[in-house]
Structure 1
Amino acid sequence: MKILIADDHTIVRDGIKLLLVEAYPFAEITDVCDSVDLMKQVNKQKWDIIICDISMPPGESGLEAVKQIREHYSRMPIIVLSMHPADQYAVRAIRAGAMGYLTKGAATKELVMAVNTVMSGKKYLSADVAAILADAVESLNHAPAIDNLTNRELEVFKLIAQGKGVTDIARELVLSPNTVSTFRARIFEKMGFQNNFDLMRYALENKLI
């Protein structure tokens, strides 16, 4: 059994490995710290399961990596393990191609169960994630504007909400300032913002930062 772990925090990777070694003593476990090395390992060999974070350099590139893996290796099972609350990212992760979504706070008691479920070919949905997905399906035709943002637009949205300027965002996401400005314009158009203050107020009111 070959397991690949991707997370930018060493202590998190070590904790996940301890859990998995206890449950699967003969597993071959490899860990990487960013999405670039994640994709290198995925392209290099076949994995029985991938456990991937969302927030890895650059930005929140974990979701983009999940999408790429699903496009090129459709049968490679992926569990997203994130610090973000399920109501913010679970739907996006499942849409990107993940077969399970866990918050890091619940990982100790659920991770092995999730791995076993996904390895059997089924999706692992905790009760809260299942409820969120059900609500997302029910409100599909009148989804809030934030759900209409692409993953990259959501990254830019959150960085603007944190008070970062175009140049800083471009540097953090490894994009050109013009590209960031384009994303900002799209965000404003989709959500009806007139200025950064409108965006920051929305983020605070909806607990997005």
Structure 2
Amino acid sequence: MSKIKILLVDDHAILRQGLRQILLDSEDMEVAGEAENSAQAIRLAREHQFDVVVLDITLPDRNGIETLKLLRRDQPKLAVLILTMHSEKEFGVRALKAGASGYLTKHSAAEQLVNAVRTVAKGKKYIGAALAEELANSFGTESDQPLHETLSDREYQVLCMIASGTALSEMAAKLSLSPKTVSVYRARVMAKMKFRNNTEITHYAIKHQLVHCASTP
């Protein structure tokens, strides 16, 4: 029986080593490639054939959600499993809408990771209880949805960075955008969420437990 060929994408070498060992303990799996950033992941996915990509959201050169979209654009049938420190509340629904086959946090047990890889390799979705609840909530009426769910992915990134106290110039550099463009996204966030200043954005992010998303590039 052919093995499931996996591409690991995470910028921490020690973590990749641990994940590799967990997966290699299963006879039906093979870690066929590793990448420490988005650019490497996209290049490897184009040059080699993988069955599953295990992808972190926090990468040094590009947001994992954007990486997911690029991978799916090149290979629509490629299974991408998000494995991240960010909770389902922060990015779970966004990841699935962007084309992820499943979503796991790094607090999950090793058996969950193995089961998730096997599930998405078969073309199925892997959705845990916490993400299932978030998905159910996302189908409520518009008035029931948290305001941040109305934001685009880029607007959400800007909200997170503002909440972390990131300066405009630093935001522009991290997002590879001009300061003027970042200002436009900030204005959209303020308009959609009816905020008057950055302090209100920060208070909202803390209240809705979105502060960890601020570490995402």
Q: Return the TM-score normalized by structure 2.
A: 0.90
| Change over 3 Å in CA distance of 1:23–1:37 after alignment to 2 | same
* 1:12-55 CA distance string (max 9 Å, x none): 21111011111137624211111111111112222111000111
Paired residue for 1:182? Answer: 184
Paired residue for 1:162? Answer: 164
* 1:111-161 CA distance string (max 9 Å, x none): 000011111221111111112212212345742220111112111111111
Paired residue for 2:124? Answer: 122
Ranked by relative contact order (alpha carbons within 8 Å, sequence separation 6 or more), the top structure is: 2
> Which of the numbers 173, 176, 191 marks the counterpart of 2:175?
173
Alignment of 1:96-111 (within 5 A): 96-111=98-113
Aligned residues: 208
Alignment of 1:46-61 (within 5 A): 46-58=49-61, 61=63
- Unpaired runs of 5+ residues, structure 2, are 212-217
The offset of 1:164, in angstroms, is 1.3
The offset of 1:107, in angstroms, is 4.5
Distance 2:29 2:73 in 1: 29
Distance 1:140 1:22 in 2: 45
AA partner of residue 178 (structure 2): S
Are the aligned partners of 2:137 and 2:145 in contact in 1 as well (CA < 8 Å)? no
Are the aligned partners of 1:17 and 1:29 in contact in 2 as well (CA < 8 Å)? no
Are the aligned partners of 1:9 and 1:33 in contact in 2 as well (CA < 8 Å)? yes
18-27 vs 63-72, which deviates more? 18-27
The offset of 1:109, in angstroms, is 2.9
The offset of 1:177, in angstroms, is 1.1
**Superposition RMSD in Å:** 1.6
Do structure 1's residue 204 and structure 2's residue 199 form an aligned pair? no
Do structure 1's residue 44 and structure 2's residue 47 form an aligned pair? yes
Paired residue for 1:112? Answer: 114
Q: Return the TM-score normalized by structure 1.
A: 0.93
- Unpaired runs of 5+ residues, structure 1, are none
Q: In percent, how many aligned pairs have the same letter?
A: 36
188-197 vs 16-25, which deviates more? 16-25
Do structure 1's residue 4 and structure 2's residue 7 form an aligned pair? yes
Are the aligned partners of 1:52 and 1:80 in contact in 2 as well (CA < 8 Å)? yes
AA partner of residue 58 (structure 1): D
Distance 1:76 1:39 in 2: 12
Paired residue for 1:79? Answer: 81
